[in-house]
Amino acid sequence: MPYKHGVYVTEQGTSLTAPITGTAGLQVIIGTAPVNLVDDPAAAVNKPKLCYSYKEACAAVGYSDDWEHYTLCQSIYSCFNVQNVAPIVLINVLDPATHRTALSAADLTVADHQAVIEDTGVIKTTLVLKDEDEGSELAEGTDYTLAFDADGKLIVTLLATGSAYARETIRLDSGYKLDPTAIKYSDIIGTANGNTETGLQLIRQIYPTFGMTPGLLLAPGWSHYPSVAAAMQAKCIEINGCFTCECVIDICTASGVTEGETPVPFAATYTDVKTAKEKLGATSAHAIACWPMLAVGDKKFYFSAILAGLMQQLDAENDDVPVLYPSNKACGATAVVLQDGTEVVLDQDQANTVNSYGVSTALNLNGFKTWGNNTAAYPSTTDPKDRWIGCRRFFTWAGNSFILTYFQKVDDPMNKRLIENIVDSANIAGNGYVARGYCAAYRVEYLEEENPATDILNGKITFHLYLAPYTPAEDIEAILEFDTDALVAALQE
């Protein structure tokens, strides 16, 4: 040991662990996008894309106003142009290598050295263009360049270095365009085959890839299929073997939609919602069911695209803690509609009836607001932990945050110092949540009766989290009574 003479310091590891919060409202959205518009379409297929802005989302998967065929685009628009929230994770399942159809051969008229291919969804790499006079194949980069216009149509610009520069027509000999109608509900559900995963099966990759836990799963335009709804509910639990999240599911609002040979149940009026929800199989406490659709100006959104964005916005405004209920909050809508555009005008009694089925809807209360606090598990369960959207999401967030914060303690010696570190640091964080009014209680205890010697010998330690998120003030009543004594006293003065 060296001889010391003077003043010295040493450092010791912090006895309390700083909390790490999960991204409570992180949306993971599965659907279809016009990937032919991006630089590398193959890289945008069945690969989670984390996007922080509208520009990033467009560059990652493409954007089109054709939301019927490109379902991811409504969430892109909703998140960045209606709610202004970020980040989001997009998963496109439309594969230009398989979900495509052949272009018809045609002569293209050239004006100012440019020709327009009127079809949308054209896959640039499959195009074969020919010189109309010579019949020779033209080469991109030498004879022409390609670029998409604002409508998604492909513009062919002839180059002065090419043989067809002076031509008045060129020949579209062959090529392919995207065929979104080839997508089936099974593509959204996806498969897992060895190291290859598609669709909803990619949820597993979110945390390992981005270090963020999924908060809300949605598939606008697809979640009203019973098989998709079932898969989404199943994927909400045991993510990576430990995490949990919620999903937002739409109840179908149009007839004629089929799932294979099985008609998808639809609800054209509020009285149809109960049966439609039951046939859809939306029963999980981790599911938030909504009906019908919402319009913002001339754009129609599946309700889930708006509701999920609203919840993420509310979380972001409260330190990423899901404490506010999405009900009775302005959603930016200008109308409540069915899929065919028919406007639905609900009054409070009718909206309350929809809520009684465990379904959220929207009301015009001097501006359109979402309406409903129940998860899809209601009315089958009245356990506040599973019935109320805010309580369920708080429990999910608290569990995910506990895992993220104390994962660093796994494999440390199971001694008293470890126990005190976890209990003390968790309770300090919990006291902060209570002080800010996020919940009525958040405390952690180590109970000897929950930690028998057999568990300790097997390397298992258990902590007990007591959580009391606030239930919603859903029913506020005032009792009006005539005060005769006050009247008599006033007349006798």
Average pLDDT of the residues of the chain: 93
Give the per-residue pLDDT at 195.
87
Instruction: Identify whether the C-beta of residue 330 lies closer than 8 Å to the C-beta of residue 294.
Output: no
Q: Which amino acid, one-letter code, is at 18?
A: A
- Tokens standing for 374? 């129940």
pLDDT at 312 over 60: yes
Where is pLDDT greater, at 56 or 14?
56
> What is the reported pLDDT for 6?
57
Mean pLDDT, residues 460-474 taken together: 95
Average pLDDT, integer, range 267-278 = 96
Give the separation between CA 48 and CA 491, rounded to whole angstroms. 75
Percent of the chain with pLDDT over 90: 88
Whether residue 42 has pLDDT greater than 70 = yes
Asked if residue 255 lies in contact with residue 249, where contact means CB atoms within 8 angstroms, the answer is no
Calculate the alpha carbon distances from 343 to 89, 241, 250, 277, 291 in Å: 31, 43, 17, 21, 13
Q: Give the C-alpha separation, 41 to 252, whole Å.
A: 31
Give the tens place of pLDDT for each residue, 323-361: 999 999 999 999 999 999 999 999 999 999 999 999 999
pLDDT above 60 (res 21)? no
| 389-406 vs 416-435: helix crossing angle, rounded to 10 | 140
The pTM score is 0.92
Question: In 3-state terms, what secondary structure has residue 228?
Answer: helix
Averaged pLDDT for residues 15-22? 54
Q: What is the pLDDT of residue 48?
A: 98
Give exposure, 317-338, as e/b (b: 16+ Cβ within 10 Å).
eeebbbbbbbbeeebbbebbbb
Before 379, cis peptide (omega within 30)? yes
Beta bridge partners of 85: none
Going by pLDDT thresholds of 50, 70 and 90, the confidence category of residue 24 is confident
Residue 10: the pLDDT is 57
CB atoms within 10 A of CB 100: 21
Structure-block tokens of residue 348:
């409070």
Percent of the chain with pLDDT over 70: 96
pLDDT for 263 = 79
The stretch 401-412 carries a mean pLDDT of: 94
pLDDT on residue 14: 59
pLDDT grade for 23, boundaries at 50, 70 and 90: confident
Q: How confident is the model at residue 260 (pLDDT cuts 50, 70, 90)?
A: confident
Taking the alpha carbons of 322, 323, 327, 328 in that order, is the dihedral positive or negative?
Answer: negative
Kindly list the domain boundaries of the chain, sorted by start residue: 27-95+183-390, 100-178
Quick: pLDDT tens for 165-180: 989 999 999 999 999 9
How far is residue 142's CA from residue 160's CA, in Å, rounded to a whole number? 9
Q: What is the pLDDT of residues 97-108, one digit of tens each?
A: 999 999 999 999
Q: Is the pLDDT of residue 160 over 70?
A: yes
Bin 264: left if φ > 0, else alpha if -120 < ψ < 50, else beta: beta
Tokens of 318: 């409260």
Displacement of CA 32 from its chain's centroid (Å) = 14
d(CA 240, CA 213) in angstroms, rounded, equals 10
177-196 pLDDT, tens digit each: 999 999 999 999 999 998 89
Distances (CA, A) of 297 to 73, 251, 455: 16, 22, 60
Q: What is the chain's percent helix, strand, coil content, to nearest 5?
A: 30, 25, 45
The pLDDT assigned to 262 comes to: 77
Among 131, 132, 129, 181, CA closest to 155 = 129
